[in-house]
Chains A and B, each alone.
Chain A
Amino acid sequence: MYEVNYHRATSVEEAAALFAKAGDAKFVAGGQTLIPTMKQHLAAPSDLVDLRHITALKGITVSGGQVTIGAGTTHAEVAGSAQLRSACAAICDLAGHIGDPAVRHMGTLGGSIANNDPAADYPAAMVALNAAIRTNKRTLAAEDFFTGLFETALEADEIIVSVSFQAPAKCAYAKFPNPASRYAMAGVFVARGTDGSVRVGVTGAGSSGVFRHSGMERALAANWSTGALDNVSVDENMMLSDIHGDAAYRANLVKVMAKRAVAAAG
């Protein structure tokens, strides 16, 4: 790893001030993406501003179906929250299948969505749950937040504070993990709102990152059943194609995962 200067912040304001003073700084939360990337010399920030000790970024609140999760909440905390499980179990299960236990003890929701790896799990949930992503500057809808492969609408000095969403009537996430990395080859999050509206978020498969599948959403809004997806087509031209799976394979996986998710949501 190249040399770096480390700073620890205890408030969002302090983190922003430390960032502004530094040269080419980056925020670090759990470090479970950034540290490996720095070890491989694929990132070389001059300074790191550590967000892990900011209590205002941590915690989960659920009130009247409105869920708010602090950006600094770890995958293990999301997976283990009984309160969240009773409102939206699918997001707990999603977090509980990210990486391995040690990664889940450090890795955070904010770090995952800021990184927007096309194979990461949380982006599918954020899009399907129509989450509002609050930063220290503004609030963005999930769909406007994720802009491409490893790309988000975040400015370099912008800090994600929390994400909020209304717990849906039903939802589930189905992931086909890459057998080696366990990242998603295709992951589909389906959510049916209390008003009957349906949103489907797809990760791992799309060539420009996470996306909504409007064909599936229409079919499931008309008829919430796995059979409703039989005649929906998934466009191969939109799929990633690599050594792990070609576009046709991934397009099929998306449909299979969507069906599994609908079946699991009940």
Chain B
Amino acid sequence: MATVTLTVNGKKVSGEVEDRTLLVQFLRENLNLTGTHVGCDTSQCGACVVHMDGKAIKSCTTLAVQAAGSAITTIEGLADGTQLHPVQAAFREHHGLQCGFCTPGMIMTAVDMINRHKANGSKLDEKTIRAELEGNICRCTGYHNIVRAIEAANAAMA
């Protein structure tokens, strides 16, 4: 067992975990932050994407102890009170979800991709968005409206 201390959505938290506990288990089971999903056993679906120190990572492929000391942002940490984050608002507006299972990971991936492309000044066009979604699988939407939502959010965040 280990005590892990990290910052989650701006708040300092600690918990007792086994060293083998995955970050996603810690978020869901210790902190009750069940917005982060688990969609696979093979690190391929992206439903579990969160940000660690500002970068998108798969919380199913990281141990909670590896994340100790870092700052984690989950889907629950994006909105400002009742004010949705522009990417959340765009997913709602453009019907970027159906069942919603993949959505938290899609949105965390989208926020990361928009921020990254803004920071290095590169263009986020449709082709780039589709390539950047390589690690996020959606069984419902056919991706079309997810891509539209990300394009709209990118424009809104310019």
- Which residues of A are at the interface with B, using a C-beta cutoff of 8 A? 1-6, 8, 28, 31-32, 35-36, 38-40, 48, 50, 52, 76, 80, 99-103, 105-106, 181-182
Contact = CB atoms under 8 A, between A and B. Distances in A.
Given A35-B43, A101-B112, A181-B44, 19 more contacts: A1-B20, A1-B22, A2-B20, A3-B20, A31-B63, A35-B63, A39-B22, A40-B41, A48-B19, A100-B132, A100-B134, A100-B135, A101-B56, A101-B132, A102-B46, A102-B135, A105-B56, A106-B57, A106-B58
Most buried by A among B18, B19, B61: B61
B65 interface: yes
A198 to B, nearest CB: 30
18 contacts: A1-B20, A2-B20, A3-B20, A6-B63, A31-B61, A31-B62, A31-B66, A32-B43, A35-B63, A48-B63, A52-B66, A99-B134, A100-B132, A100-B134, A102-B135, A105-B52, A106-B57, A106-B61
Contacts of A3: 18-20
Nearest to A103: B135
Interface string B52-76: 1001111011110110100000000
A102 B58 CA distance: 6
Contact of A103 (B58, B112, B113, B120): B58
B43 A105 contact: no
B83 interface: no
A102 B56 contact: yes
A101 B61 contact: no
B150 interface: no
B20 A4 contact: yes
A8 B70 CA distance: 14
Contacts of A32: 43, 61
Given A36-B43, A100-B46, A101-B132, A6 B65 contact: yes
A23 B109 CA distance: 38
Nearest to B52: A105
Contacts of B22: 1, 35, 39
A52 B61 CA distance: 14
